Amino acid sequence: MTVQIQKLKMLVAGEWRESSSGSFSSIVDPSNNQVIAEVPKASREDAEAAVESARHAFDSPEWRDMDPSKRGRILIKLTGLVRENSEELARLETLNEGKLLRESKGDVAWAARTFEYFAGLADKIEGETIPVPPKRLNYTLREPLGVTVHIVPWNYPIALASRSMAPALAAGNTIVVKPSETTPLTALKLGELATKAGVPKGVVNVVTGSGAEVGSELVSNPDVDGIIFTGSAETGKQVMQAAARNVTHVLLELGGKNPHIVFPDADLSKAVRSVKDGIFTNAGQMCWAGSRAFIHESIYNNFVNELVAKTKVMRLGPGIEETTEMGPVVSKARQETVLGYIKDGVAEGAKLLYGGKRPSDPKLQQGNFVEPTIFEDVTGEMKVGCDEIFGPVLSITKFQTVEEVVSMANETDYGLYGGLWTSNLKTAHDVASKLQVGVVAINEYLVTFPQTPFGGFKESGIGFEQGIRSLQYYTRTKNVSVNLA
């Protein structure tokens, strides 16, 4: 497929602009490392200008004081535009991030559903009246936070941008979105579609630039009222420190090292597929990847043999090709990091069952491919057993009892997502209650909806996205007491 290299602009104050320095960054297709677009390399000054634009838009009554049903209708229009442009959005996502086209189509559909869900909530953000001693009226108002900054990672660009843009806009905030400098294309397109949908000038700003320069300016800017950061725990901690200096609200959606547990009474053929897809979807670059599989000893050998057999036949290739079953990782640097972890795993004594290298297929040499990789005999002390590798690397451990597996599953600094497979209701609910994670999937994996909360415990984050209660974060509560005596 030939791709037209486009020089794009970014959206600040309702205008499509180049960066103040005039410089651009090249955006590449990770399946062959060819340049597919150029985007403005924003500077600190551009980030300041985007915050200023959002502040100005917030201070004018046009958006904040808009009839909330009308705000909802604008978001419904945006939903429709995302759906109308879903082919193009999915293609851009795959060319830029590397994931399979069908995964990108799913992400775009999810983004549209998220705008639709929060559009419906725009006029349902209610305060309360509170009973107090007589001759008074006491009530609460739920006001928008103000200017919100949305820092988005590269692994689910459109889905994660939409996940926080939708509630922020529904609640009447004005926003600055910073996609990862590696994968900015669909966020820029969302900016274009939001403008088309009728979002007033300056309400949505999209700045393309590095985390080190643009991201750090946005999260340190005293004119910002709320930060929604999705990314690694390491950067999340820096963001929290920067936010503390201005006492800015912060919502952190960070990484995971997620347990995927299979009990002997599970539907084993479904569980094998789920363990495989739970790690090799998006080449393992998922916060909720089931990167640690715990398999009961009584089914262990058959289960692992079948898993390895299914993994061996996976077809690697560009995500844009229909026959591909796993795409590349996002960058050369990520490829090196993942291969480094695999080397560490071998050195630490984990047993490599399959994969572990760059694939030998000559057609894949220009891209950032890593074979789907499976280790067994992994312990929680090994790097492959405790670090978030963020690549197609599965660590398997055998277990005997419920107590033992719960303790191993919780033996991590992370606490995002967990899956378990069993036909015993008691085991299912018992283990779900004991796992120290924010989201548990029983007899399925990689499932979440715009209406269900998603967030992590421990170092996986603070707060949660999705669901009606996530709107609490995007609003502030004001109490009003009226003396009627």
Instruction: Return the active site residues.
Output: 253, 287
**331 touching ligand NDP, by CB under 6 A:** no
**Residue 472 tokens, joined:** 């609490």
The size of the interface with ligand NDP (CB under 6 A), counted in residues, is 33
**Residue pair 440/418 in contact by the 8 Å Cβ criterion:** yes
Strands of 34-40's sheet in order across: 6-7, 34-40, 24-29
Decide whether 86 or 180 has the Cβ nearer to ligand NDP. Answer: 180
Query: Minimal distance in Å, beta carbon 34 to ligand NDP?
Result: 20
Residue 333, judged by CB atoms within 10 A of its CB (0-12, 13-18, 19+), counts as exposed
**211 touching ligand NDP, by CB under 6 A:** yes
- CA dist 254 and 288 (Å) reads 10
**256 touching ligand NDP, by CB under 6 A:** yes
Q: Which residues of 11-34 are buried (b: 16+ CB within 10 A; e: fewer)?
A: bbeeeebbbeeeebbebbbbbeee
Q: Which of residues 29, 97, 181, 225 is near ligand NDP by CB under 6 A? A: 181
For the segment 272-301, give every residue that binds ligand NDP (CB under 6 A). Answer: 287
Decide whether 155 or 412 has the Cβ nearer to ligand NDP. Answer: 155
Kindly give the interhelix angle for 185-197 and 68-84, rounded to the nearest 10 degrees: 130
Identity of the residue numbered 254: L
Q: Give the nearest residue (CB) to ligand NDP.
A: 211
**230 touching ligand NDP, by CB under 6 A:** yes
- CA dist 453 and 441 (Å) reads 13
The C-alpha angle with vertex 121 and arms to 119 and 127, in degrees rounded to 5, equals 145
Q: Which of residues 32, 232, 331, 443 is near ligand NDP by CB under 6 A? A: 232
**464 touching ligand NDP, by CB under 6 A:** no
Q: Which of residues 74, 119, 151, 158 is near ligand NDP by CB under 6 A? A: 151
Neighbours of 336 (CB within 10 A): 13
Query: Minimal distance in Å, beta carbon 133 to ligand NDP?
Result: 45
Choices 104-112, 224-232, 305-313, 354-362; region in contact with ligand NDP by CB under 6 A: 224-232
Residues of the shown chain interacting with ligand NDP in the complex, contacts defined by CB under 6 A: 151-156, 160, 178, 180-182, 210-212, 215-216, 219, 230-232, 235, 238-239, 253-256, 287, 388, 390, 416, 456, 461
